[in-house]
Amino acid sequence: MQLIFEKSVKGRKGLKLPNCTVNPDIEFPKKYLRAKDVELPEVSELDVVRHYTNLSKLNFSVDSNFYPLGSCTMKYNPKFTEKIAALDGFLDLHPLMPQLRGGGMLAQGSLEVVYKIERLLSEITGMDAFTMQPLAGAHGELTGVMIIAAYHRYQGQQRKYIIVPDSSHGTNPASAAIAGYEVIIVPTDENGCMDINEFKNKLSEDVAGIMLTCPNTLGIYNSQIKSICDAAHEVGALVYYDGANLNAILGKSRPGDLGFDIVHLNLHKTFATPHGGGGPGAGPVGVIKKLKDFLPISRVKMRTDGTYALDYDKPKSLGFIAPFCGNFGVILKSYAYIMLLGKSGLIAVAERAVLNANYCRVLLKKYFSIPYDRMCMHEFVISAQLQKEKGISALDIAKYLISKGIHPPTIYFPLIVKEAMMIEPTETESKETLDNFIELMIEAAKLCDSDPQKLHDAPDNMPVKRLDETKAARDLNLRWQKS
């Protein structure tokens, strides 16, 4: 026991080994003891390295391929933040440490990180306070809608509805429904924005809040945001900003200045932490002053002597939404990223994200229909409707991109665009990468006439040509067969 433990911590500086030898006086009952040694596979390091390297090559990832997956912001995640998150002082910290008597001093650095990133995100978004706890974007939305509910409850009001536009990310109506609200959906107008007249018709004193993504999932910035917020406030409703894709407006505009009351951010999109197979992510939530008391506990506070502590004394708080401080490693990486880029770096992020998206949009519009063709923000949506008339679907084009080493854009979303392909190049890609992508998209458009079968047969470089996705989900077979 001692030996194994010693091995695993060897090399970590400053760590004292606790005394953890097994008491020799304890006799284990015979029935629990093995009669013979466990048969563990004996393989060489080289075999292990090859096994895992080959497994890793079965994946598409941002480290190996371009990934213009609209709405998901699959951008490069700097490796230096991984190093910072792996520092012993952070990595070895037990989450209960701050609550142990005297232990608070050992956790000061981590508490400071949480405190400071909350201040930075408040400044970036124009909010008054943030909670770092929610573990994903959707979890942040749920927290935000629960704050809306707590606020109205505190006012002695029982409101019934949350309004969302029909272009909204599916998690918006889902979060509202899980928090107990009925969802009212408002259609999109010909400019690609929520229809403001329809919206005003739906507003009443029964509406608890409205959830908006801006720029929305069509990549379009709604210039009427301020009057939408004003109209909502007039009937006492709160306005929620889905800031999953804040990279489009970083340092350019702040939801708080526009009149939003609650914001959630996706650190795993805007602030350069990996999505990693569905997690771990972080969906911190920011609020304006009058909602501050409803934020989940615990809160990190600064004492008068400049030290930090966890504060649970918040009677109006909606309670626990996640253990401890949320996904601390993710928070730490984002903090490092923000500190590295600084103000001018974050502004450059927004400018590059928007420039890259518009560059692709303009070069593709001769070949694809673009239903809402105006200056876009960080992403834009094309339609393969013209290609569909020739028998080629968005799915065929997506599969063709796979055979060319590019992860397809998000397809068939948002639902309001037929044969949608939602493209987000992100701010971290080079002109060469974008040009290659554009060239392949144009090639696909041309193949619709010259060799449509090639698109139907794509991808041609995978063990299985066209996976039956429904069958794959229902009848999962994880055994890898070498072809």
- Least separation in angstroms between residue 242's CB and ligand PLP is 5
Closer to ligand PLP by CB, 245 or 428: give it: 245
- Least separation in angstroms between residue 218's CB and ligand PLP is 11
Closer to ligand PLP by CB, 422 or 447: give it: 422
- Please report the sign of the dihedral spanned by the C-alpha atoms of residue 371, residue 375, residue 377, residue 379: positive
CA angle, residues 167, 169, 171, in degrees to nearest 5: 140
Which among 183, 180, 149, 179 has a CA at the least distance from the CA of 163? 183
Closer to ligand PLP by CB, 270 or 383: give it: 270
- Least separation in angstroms between residue 180's CB and ligand PLP is 19
- Least separation in angstroms between residue 452's CB and ligand PLP is 33
391 CA to centre of own chain: 34
- Least separation in angstroms between residue 144's CB and ligand PLP is 11
Closer to ligand PLP by CB, 98 or 326: give it: 326
Q: Kindly list the distances between the CA atom of residue 328 and the CA atoms of 286, 313, 398, in Å, as whole numbers in the listed order.
A: 17, 22, 36
Closer to ligand PLP by CB, 70 or 459: give it: 70
Say whether 187 sits in a helix, a strand or coil. coil
Taking every pair of C-alpha atoms in the chain, what is the biggest distance, in angstroms? 81
Tokens read off for 69? 């997956």
Neighbouring-strand partners of residue 380 = 423
- Least separation in angstroms between residue 288's CB and ligand PLP is 20
Residues in contact with 341: Cβ distance below 8 Å, sequence separation at least 6, in sequence order: 348, 349
Count the alpha carbons within 13 Å of 399 in the hemisphere toward its beta carbon: 21
What whole-number distance in Å separates Cα of residue 422 and Cα of residue 205? 36
What whole-number distance in Å separates Cα of residue 249 and Cα of residue 252? 5
Closer to ligand PLP by CB, 281 or 409: give it: 281
- Least separation in angstroms between residue 213's CB and ligand PLP is 5
Backbone φ and ψ of 69, nearest 5°: -80, 100
What whole-number distance in Å separates Cα of residue 368 and Cα of residue 384? 6
At residue 419, what is the residue type? E
What whole-number distance in Å separates Cα of residue 401 and Cα of residue 391? 17
The torsion angle over the Cα atoms of residues 409, 448, 366 and 70, rounded to 10 degrees, is -10
Closer to ligand PLP by CB, 216 or 387: give it: 216
Closer to ligand PLP by CB, 169 or 404: give it: 169
Closer to ligand PLP by CB, 98 or 219: give it: 219
Can you spell out the DSSP letters for 337-371? HHHHHHHHHHHHHHHHHHHHHHHHHHHHTTTSB-T
- Interface residues with ligand PLP (CB under 6 A)? 71, 136-138, 169, 171, 213, 217, 242, 244-245, 266, 281, 283
Neighbouring-strand partners of residue 213 = 242
Beta-carbon neighbour count of residue 32 at 10 Å?
6
Closer to ligand PLP by CB, 122 or 245: give it: 245
Instruction: Output the residue with the shortest Cβ distance to ligand PLP.
Output: 137
- Least separation in angstroms between residue 100's CB and ligand PLP is 32
